[in-house]
Amino acid sequence: MIITGSLLKKMRLEAGLTQSELARLVGVSQAHIAKIERGKVDPRLSTVNKILQILTSKRGKTCREIMTREVITVSSKEKIKNVSEIMVRYGISQVPVVEGGKVIGMVTEEGIVRNLSPNISEEPVEKVMEPPLPTVSEDTDISVIKPLLEVHPGVLVMRKGELVGIITRSDLLKVI
């Protein structure tokens, strides 16, 4: 079989992807995808392989479909006692720390336990805050977040720079 630009366009349309979406998934510009489809450019083999891999893989669920919305967040000045009470009440093991609408870190059960001391309950969150979790867009296929969840306890789901959801390992288990 000869792979032509028109064949790739047909496959893209069958997959229900726009040129922009395919370009983002492949890691090239939308203009480059358009040129490939029109036969105006001879793409590198690695680019064609990435395109074929994306177009032939079964599209699974997106982060939007499995994320937990209405994410509970705290400020860096919040007392650790209050945050730990929130974590127990809602059965969560990590809470994003947000300042000025931006995620600046995370408070985790592990982080609190690692820093246990007689006065920890009155300390501000910033004393035990860890770096933020990795972020993905809500259109990201959940197959992309699997390797992230092998290393991190969760991923933050963003839309135009705004936190709109969180996916933890237990959310991924629910999909199974």
CATH code, domain carrying 41:
1.10.260.40
Are 151 and 78 within one domain? Answer: yes
49-58, 75-84, 116-125, 163-172, range with the lowest pLDDT:
49-58
Cα separation, 166 vs 67, whole angstroms: 5
| Element (DSSP H or E) covering residue 97 | strand 94-99
Cα separation, 138 vs 65, whole angstroms: 8
Contacts of 175 (CB under 8 A, 6+ apart): 61, 66, 142
Cβ contact 147:70 at 8 Å: no
Are 89 and 143 within one domain? Answer: yes
Are 94 and 44 within one domain? Answer: no
- Buried b / exposed e over 66-80, threshold 16 CB at 10 Å, is bbeeebebbeeebeb
Are 74 and 116 within one domain? Answer: yes
Range of the domain at 77: 64-175
- Buried b / exposed e over 126-144, threshold 16 CB at 10 Å, is bebbeebbeebeeebbbee
Q: What is the pLDDT of residue 19?
A: 93
Beta bridge mates, 103: 98
| Assigned token pair, 44 | 């590198």
- Which of 102, 100, 76, 72 minimizes the C-alpha distance to 88? 72
Are 43 and 68 within one domain? Answer: no
Are 13 and 96 within one domain? Answer: no
What's the number of domains the chain is made of? 2
Q: What is the pLDDT of residue 59?
A: 59
Residue 93 has φ and ψ, to the nearest 5°, of: -110, -5
Angle between the N-to-C axes of helices 5-14 and 45-56, in degrees from 0 to 180, rounded to the nearest 10:
30
pLDDT category, 174, cuts 50, 70, 90?
confident
Cβ contact 125:78 at 8 Å: yes
Q: 3-class SS at 118?
A: coil
Does pTM surpass 0.75?
A: no
Residue 88's identity, in one-letter code, is V
- Which of 144, 164, 120, 155 minimizes the C-alpha distance to 62? 144
Write the pLDDT tens digit of every residue in 16-71: 789 998 998 889 999 999 999 999 999 998 899 889 888 876 556 789 989 999 89
Q: What is the pLDDT of residue 155?
A: 95
Answer whether residue 132 shows pLDDT above 70: yes
Q: What is the pLDDT of residue 161?
A: 87
Are 12 and 99 within one domain? Answer: no
56, 81, 99 — which closes off a domain? 56
Answer whether residue 15 shows pLDDT above 80: no
pLDDT category, 12, cuts 50, 70, 90?
confident
